[in-house]
A and B are shown apart, each in its own frame.
Chain A
């Protein structure tokens, strides 16, 4: 499992180089072919026991974060989110911009009006790095620099916690699969860029590899929190991999969906359905680019994604891996293709 290392690497959308290099260096010895395409996706071909069909397995390397968009007169930095980031959960957090450390500050409670419950507007969110003025800040930080959370990976009891589990969890599953032997069919392991900014990397993959079926391995929102009634939970921690039947822009191909569900049932793997249809994944792009490919989604449920720290259950990770092993390495995925 590579989740700890992957989680602590820096890879906001458009800045996936560090993650890509890590995966490359650890996976090179397992690859039959490996290339980085024009937009930065890392694509690895692993020959299978059979070569008449091709399987595409994908996870995205990028995480949500922020970017420096302004250097203020007082030496503080204005930032904008990259990907779907709720700025309210960022207040008070430590951040890192290259070697520069900072904190996303806001006026102390003593200085706020009584009962003030509004969160600051995005334009009022500032990063304090201790620069005494604009000039000093400009010597150390440039517009367009990425702003990272500094959360370290923790392992405690039944849980992992850390940043960027969405979708380093998926990347880690792919690496585990790739290093675990020979897949049933020729398989492309795709580590994608810029999913969080609009499913961008995935839009050029089908054209390059012409797969017969695609499965996206994601980390998805749990929603099993006290503020929400149970019928609004998207997934629940501890109930195993979440299988998607429909999400934004795309209803998962019924054969792929059924294949995933039946594989889990036959093997006695605990699984759950992803029970909200909001949010999209790269499956949407795969389905509708080039000649099209039936695509499915398997996700590790995760609490507090798109925030500085998220929480995942170990057994959910391992059950997801087990399900993917059956589909890809054992070849159960074969029930999914059309023609």
Chain B
């Protein structure tokens, strides 16, 4: 079986901003070949895979395929203007570079406007997409136009690294969730309940994919597998507590949802019974697809299991390999005991 590390590397290096998930969908589907009882791609582009259970209940797990990115809104002489897709910050773009989704790939570097030192410093301080431009290093407008157009999408240009039990990459949000679910499906044999895995599109823009998958599948419980902030760094936010290597984070609340109490209690119970390290999570910002599952149709009991991640939405998101393995373990046991 393919090593977890290789799966994470493969998934994180694919460029798939919201609305441009074709390639990552293909990669996920290929990696599940032979490990599922069925799959389909729905009207909006979610990939839904399943394994049939012995008993008559349905559990849905969700990880979103899309990552944050940019889209070209203006092509100047030889410079571009871009706007964010999802929660992309202009700060992280400085010094990082952008990889545009064209074949062969085009790379861009980001500069800041400023016609005086004062103006430049002011723009740096109040950085916005109106103050930055992208230089794709073309020597003429003609050359540029053939490569990039208005409406071309781009993502961070950064690579996967593995170092001492850590994975580092762009798009760990939420390709690490995708990798967890793929690994989980590969290891899952003859599940007690039917398991659906939704690899959802456009979470970063507005929970688009999850909203329709929930309507479609009507599961008995839905669990989003996503990243959460890890604050075990120097002078990090004092109002949160999640850290690397302490196991999957069972979310109690974030800005978009409060997890179903029953599901949370069950997750804790399962983790304790099987000695799986875990931590509780309260995130004071952000949200996950659980918010969409929770309020679709007549309501689905929903929760989130998170992989603690440093520097979320940056080009170098850091996770712990152990946390990833323990998340897979937790989900596997949960499936057997979810409704006991």
Q: Name A's B-contacting residues (CB within 8 A).
A: 212, 230-232, 245-246, 248-254, 257, 273, 275-277, 284, 287-294, 338-339
Contact = CB atoms under 8 A, between A and B. Distances in A.
A291 to B, nearest CB: 6
A294 B73 contact: no
A253 B84 CA distance: 17
Given A245-B151, A292-B211, A275 B42 contact: no
Residue among B43, B84, B206 with max Cβ neighbours from chain A (10 Å)? B43
B208 A291 contact: no
A51 to B, nearest CB: 18
13 contacts: A246-B83, A251-B71, A251-B205, A252-B19, A254-B19, A273-B150, A277-B73, A291-B43, A292-B44, A294-B44, A294-B45, A338-B43, A338-B45
Nearest to B17: A251
A291 B19 contact: no
Contacts of A249: 205-206, 208
B239 to A, nearest CB: 28
Contact of A292 (B20, B74, B81, B212): B212
A212 B202 contact: no
Dominant SS at the A interface?
loop
Which of A248, A251, A275 has the most chain B CB within a 10 Å cutoff?
A251
Nearest to B22: A254
A253 B74 contact: no
B187 interface: no
A81 B171 CA distance: 41
- 5 nearest A-B residue pairs (beta carbon): A251-B19, A292-B212, A249-B206, A288-B211, A245-B151
Given A231-B81, A249-B206, A288-B208, A257 B151 contact: yes
B206 to A, nearest CB: 3
Given A273-B150, A276-B73, A250 B43 contact: no
Contacts of A291: 42-43, 212, 215-216
Given A231-B81, A252-B19, 10 more contacts: A245-B71, A250-B19, A251-B18, A251-B205, A253-B44, A275-B150, A277-B71, A284-B208, A290-B215, A292-B212
Interface in B26-57: 41-46
B296 to A, nearest CB: 9
Contacts of B202: 250-251, 287
A212 B44 CA distance: 10
B41 A338 contact: yes
Nearest to A339: B43
